[in-house]
Structure 1
Amino acid sequence: MTARRARLLLACLLLPAGAQALAPDANYYPRRPGMRWVYSSGETQVAGAPVVHRGVTVTPVSHQYGATTFSQDLLEHRADGSVWLRGVNTGGRLTWYTPPLNIYPPGPLRPGMTWQSAAAGVTQRSLVTGVAPLTTPAGAFNALKIRTETTAGGKVSAQTTYFVPTVGVVRFDTADGSVIQLVK
């Protein structure tokens, strides 16, 4: 997985899930099949119904531009409320992560919380740096501000993600300075 892919993944995970048994705070990380998020970059994310890959129930999240799906993330929502990246399907090729990457710890998130994980040559470290009021085309929010450093191939990059419980990621500031916002 490239550092860019890892950054986009973390920023874009809106964490849909399906009909399986739900964690105690199941709505904290949104997870309904059919949910759609449209971003100012032109990307649309679409949550699918849960499926089983390699004995693990995962929720596919498709990353689309127009009518074309470019990749699909396979997310595992564990009973403790944490969310893990189990695999990525790109161009019909499934890359399965053993161990998986921890995308989010059990909610609720609080300023000062940290978590990290590593898989397939990628290491991610995240810190909730605070709460930030912001307005996007999708509305006004008090978002949790999460700084994530991703190391891949010996290179380190950082981005800031703005997460709103029950909504998902409403904005992210990429390592190259781009600002991508939730449109609807």
Structure 2
Amino acid sequence: MRPLLPLILTALTLLTAVQAATPALDPNYYPHRPGTRWTYSSGETQIVGAPVIHRGVKVTPVSHQYGSTTYSQDLLEYRADGSVWLRGVNAAGRLSWYSPPLLVYPAGPLQTGQKWQAASGPLRMTVAVTGTAPLKLAAGTFNALILRTESVTGGRSSVQLTYFVPAFGIVRYQTADGSTIDLQR
């Protein structure tokens, strides 16, 4: 029996090493716990609501507010594989449902050089993770992934940069006109 002990220990050591090298799927890689909120320098606050069923799909509403007024609400589907899909947008009392839905984020973790596309109706998006950037903001110091999103709708194209921190969320938006909107808290 003694000669088996070193083999068992070696097998356990290898199994532990493989498990450590395999990234676990973090269910909060893309934050979506109800009550989570982000307030930005533009005055906008985004608030995650409790999941609801819309058209037979479990979606998580993310409200966009200025003061106490909600101007729009994204309906996001967080799938078991870790990907995030935009199923609809509720604005001015009107629900726009995307069929097919738009891939907002593929399953994490995101990596520099990664690209994905999404299209629904006249809207087309191409997203690329272009690198990382250290940011010192009112909300803290971050090493954020830079996501470059090119959107085309109605023949018009625009580019936006989004600075994303895993398990924390979006800490900066740089709009098509070059304006910067930073996370305040």
2:147 corresponds in structure 1 to 146
Distance 1:136 1:175 in 2: 21
Distance 2:168 2:121 in 1: 29
Unpaired runs of 5+ in structure 1?
1-22
Question: Could you say which structure has the greater relative contact order, defined with CA pairs below 8 angstroms and 6 or more residues apart?
Answer: 1
Aligned residues between the structures:
162
Distance apart, 1:37 and its partner CA:
0.4
Unpaired runs of 5+ in structure 2?
1-23
Matched residue type, 1:96: W
Question: RMSD between aligned alpha carbons?
Answer: 1.0
Distance 1:72 1:43 in 2: 12
Distance 2:174 2:94 in 1: 29
Are residue 38 (structure 1) and residue 6 (structure 2) matched? no
1:16 corresponds in structure 2 to none
- Checking the alignment, whether the CA contact within 8 Å between 2:25 and 2:108 is kept in structure 1 is no
1:177 corresponds in structure 2 to 178
- Checking the alignment, whether the CA contact within 8 Å between 2:172 and 2:183 is kept in structure 1 is yes
1:7 corresponds in structure 2 to none
Structure 1 consecutive aligned stretches of length 4 or more whose deviation exceeds 3 Å: none
Are residue 55 (structure 1) and residue 59 (structure 2) matched? no
Are residue 71 (structure 1) and residue 78 (structure 2) matched? no
Distance apart, 1:120 and its partner CA:
2.4
Matched residue type, 1:180: I
Matched residue type, 2:71: F
Matched residue type, 2:32: R
* Structure possessing the higher radius of gyration over alpha carbons: 2
1:110 corresponds in structure 2 to 111
Matched residue type, 1:98: S
Distance 1:173 1:53 in 2: 31
1:85 corresponds in structure 2 to 86
* 2:27 match: secondary structure: coil
Q: TM-score, normalised by structure 1?
A: 0.86
Distance 2:58 2:25 in 1: 17
Q: TM-score, normalised by structure 2?
A: 0.86
* 1:98 match: secondary structure: strand
Distance apart, 1:92 and its partner CA:
1.3
Distance 1:164 1:24 in 2: 16
- Checking the alignment, whether the CA contact within 8 Å between 2:64 and 2:70 is kept in structure 1 is yes
Q: Which has the higher helix share?
A: 2
* 2:151 match: secondary structure: strand
Matched residue type, 2:87: R
Distance apart, 1:63 and its partner CA:
0.3
2:10 corresponds in structure 1 to none
- Checking the alignment, whether the CA contact within 8 Å between 2:61 and 2:76 is kept in structure 1 is yes
